[in-house]
Amino acid sequence: MNEQQDQSREQPRGEPVNFASPSEPVNFASPSEPVDFASRGEPVDFASFDELVETLARWSGSLPEWPPARAVRAEWEQIEPRLDRARRELSRMLVVGVIGGTGTGKSTLVNALAGCDLSPAGDIARPTTINPVVVAARDVDLSWLPVEAMNARVVRSDAAAVANIVLVDCPDPDTQTESRHHGGQATHSPARPSDSNHNRDLLEAVLPACDVLLLVSTAQKYRSWVVAREVAAFAPGRPLLFVQTHASRDPDIRDDWRRELESQGFVVPRIFRLDAVEAATRTAAGLEPDAGFRELVEAIDVELVGRAARRVRRTGSLDLAGWFLRQSQESLAPLRGPVAQLAAGVASERTRLEGILARSVDSRLRASRTAWQRILTGEIVERWHGGPFASFLHVVESIIAFWPRMRAAGGGLITRLLSGQPSDIIPAGQGGWQAVEELGLSAAEVEQSRSILCGLSARARLAEPLVGRARLDESRVAATVGTLLERTAAWLSSGIDRLVADRRGRIDGPVFRWVCEALFSGLLVAVLVRAGWNFFVGHLWQGRVVDGGGFLQEALVWVILWGFLLRWIAFARVRVGLDSDIQTLVARLPQAHLTDPLLTDFAGAADATSLFIEQGDRLSRDHETLMSRLTEPSGGLGRLRGDSR
């Protein structure tokens, strides 16, 4: 033993590693560079997995303002180094950590695998394993392993069982008094308390360096929650082997142990059963091992050596990514309902505000008949030229233009739009709310909607800066009202233009125009014919006295009355169905999303959180697809399923 200890002191040590938090993965570099296995004809394809990892990194950091997303990011930062290390150290041999409660025969099993006595048996001292023991072949370079940080003793062995793996006899976790959590930090992993002695602290420094966990238990210890908690904390992404020892004196508890492990979320394809003492004795004597120990050694050689080691790293990385996604989905699951309720609340309040706006716009447009008359008249007069009736319309319009009472001055947004005035005027006072009172959107109505959404946001754990307060401050009111007026004015302007163009088309056709011109010109011709008849026939031919200007005055009155009648007929044709067209225009208001500026922060937060959850679901599906493509079958290795009950 002393020779072994002296020899272990001569082994190269890795650089110290900072284990500030035992739950953090070890981040050390491998001396070997990644190997191109594709050139060797081996089906190791990490391209899709690398893409998945990059997408997970982007997704986890895509919404840092949302506390649940920050928690997802914090969890990702814990496992990302392990995923990166698995890609960089694809060809390195596996580190197998042997873990179990005190008195389970763990150290004895390590002695049997190493082919020599490395640690005292449990009948000599309890706890047996205080400091970790690293067992490796003589030609294996351990400079990449953080031996000093693990406070481990290195022992070299020529045994075939450890020729292609590094074996670590881990400290017993169930001999330490409970205290408080490490650093007071809680993660998705099961909590691991800090204790008065350092046994579990050493274990938590060793396990991050392990690629595979070999869990040893007995009929007396297999229900130990302390051991199960430590294993569950480090099992994500690490395959497991399960061994029942003391086979010569304990009953076979494999079926009951499997049910216990499965209830804790483990997949248990196989449990080995052997007697560690007998195996160590037979190995030391050079005898043929018993069946149970031989099956374990064969499983190690088949499942953990050579190409199988690369498969373990690949499937372990996939399992770790899947575990992260499952943990993230579980943490986000309670928020799915509140986020959906917030999105529905935004839609409901947007509909309510749009209803208020639509009713107000509808009533204002219907009440502005004088403005409609004026704008339609202007459009018609502007386009009609080259005839007596067109000239009559231009004369009438010119006279009306000088009548002040027919011209609108000031007024609200709709009045200004119908009268051709600028629509971007925001009256001073009350932060601009007066500018939208005509639209029915008062400060009280908006605050009511925002108050409801504030409550829904709190349930979804959304706060500033993602969402604002119920009452907007003056600076935001001015900007919000300005945006609302700008959007409403643009929508109303385009809608009014379409409506006017449609109505103008009803009388802008050549047939209707020529009919009006013919009717008006007919009266003028009749007046001129009558005047000519009276002068040439009546006066010159028949000698009657000309009656002066009385006839001309009468004729002028009839011409004016006839012109106004035709004008009324033309405009009546334009006005028919105006209410129906206004209703159609207002019905399209929800498509314009005019009230979005009032609730834009809540809508944006609902969309962002919904998208974050949906992307997580999609990544989970992508991971399952990748698992089905890249995972190779493994008969004896277990894993943490992640849905422990």
Please write the tens of the pLDDT for every residue from 78-92: 889 888 887 777 778
pLDDT tens column, 511-542: 777 887 788 888 777 777 767 666 666 656 76
**601 pLDDT higher than 90:** yes
Dihedral angle over CA of 587, 590, 595, 599, nearest 10: 150
Residue type, 201: D
Mapping DSSP to helix (H, G, I), strand (E, B) and coil, where does residue 231 land? helix
Average pLDDT value for residue range 404-419: 57
Q: Please tell me the predicted confidence (pLDDT) of residue 31.
A: 33
Give dist(CA 318, CA 86) in Å, integer: 10
Look at residues 266, 264, 245, 268 and name the one whose alpha carbon lies nearest to residue 255: 268
Give dist(CA 3, CA 116) in Å, integer: 12
- Please state whether the peptide bond connecting residue 127 to the residue before it is cis, i.e. omega within 30 degrees of 0: yes
Domain 2-176+192-332+630-640 has CATH 3.40.50.300: yes
How would residue 550 be classed by pLDDT, with cut points 50, 70 and 90?
Answer: low
Q: Please tell me the predicted confidence (pLDDT) of residue 21.
A: 33
Q: Please tell me the predicted confidence (pLDDT) of residue 192.
A: 44
Tell me which range, 11-25, 78-92, 394-408, is most confidently predicted by mean pLDDT: 78-92
Residues in the chain: 645
- Long-range contacts, 498-506 (Cβ 8 Å, 24+): 498/585, 499/581, 499/582, 499/585, 500/375, 500/376, 500/379, 502/581, 503/376, 503/574, 503/575, 503/578, 503/581, 504/376, 504/379, 504/380, 504/383, 504/574, 506/573, 506/574
- Residue 213 bridge partners (DSSP): 97, 240
Q: Please tell me the predicted confidence (pLDDT) of residue 408.
A: 44
**127 pLDDT higher than 60:** no
pLDDT tens column, 259-274: 999 988 898 999 999 9
Average pLDDT value for residue range 110-138: 74
Q: Please tell me the predicted confidence (pLDDT) of residue 341.
A: 96
**630 pLDDT higher than 80:** no
pLDDT tens column, 365-394: 887 777 776 777 776 777 777 778 778 877
- Residue 156 bridge partners (DSSP): 136
The pTM (predicted TM-score) of the whole model is 0.70
pLDDT tens column, 479-515: 888 888 888 888 888 887 787 777 766 666 677 778 8
Distances (CA, A) of 151 to 132, 301, 353, 546: 7, 28, 67, 136
β-strand 166-169 against 240-244: which pairing, if any?
A: unpaired
Look at residues 149, 150, 151, 118 and name the one whose alpha carbon lies nearest to residue 136: 118
**What percentage of the chain exceeds 70 in pLDDT?**
76
**183 pLDDT higher than 50:** no
Give dist(CA 367, CA 340) in Å, integer: 40
pLDDT tens column, 162-176: 999 999 998 887 655
Contact 174, 215 (CB under 8 A): no
Tell me which range, 202-216, 373-387, 552-566, is most confidently predicted by mean pLDDT: 202-216
Q: Which residue has the higher pLDDT, 97 or 544?
A: 97
How would residue 362 be classed by pLDDT, with cut points 50, 70 and 90?
Answer: confident
Q: For 93, phi and psi rounded to 5 degrees? A: -65, 160
Contact 619, 59 (CB under 8 A): yes
Average pLDDT value for residue range 51-56: 91
Q: Considering only the C-alpha atoms of the chain, give the largest distance between any 2 of them, rounded to a whole number of Å.
A: 162
Give dist(CA 205, CA 200) in Å, integer: 9
Angle of helix 474-507 relative to helix 578-587, nearest 10 degrees, comes to 140
Average pLDDT value for residue range 235-252: 90
Residue type, 43: P
How would residue 119 be classed by pLDDT, with cut points 50, 70 and 90?
Answer: low
Contact 24, 78 (CB under 8 A): yes
How would residue 179 be classed by pLDDT, with cut points 50, 70 and 90?
Answer: very low
Average model confidence (pLDDT) for the chain? 78
Residue type, 289: P
Look at residues 394, 387, 436, 427 and name the one whose alpha carbon lies nearest to residue 594: 436
Residue 123 in tokens: 């009948």
Dihedral angle over CA of 587, 591, 592, 596, nearest 10: 110
Contact 162, 215 (CB under 8 A): no
Residue type, 417: L
**8 pLDDT higher than 50:** no
Q: Please tell me the predicted confidence (pLDDT) of residue 10.
A: 36
Distances (CA, A) of 430 to 70, 437, 443, 472, 475: 39, 11, 9, 12, 11
- In this predicted structure, which of 12-16, 257-261, 442-446, 606-610 has the lowest mean pLDDT? 12-16
**Is the CA virtual torsion 169, 174, 179, 180 positive or negative?**
positive
pLDDT tens column, 278-292: 998 888 888 888 999
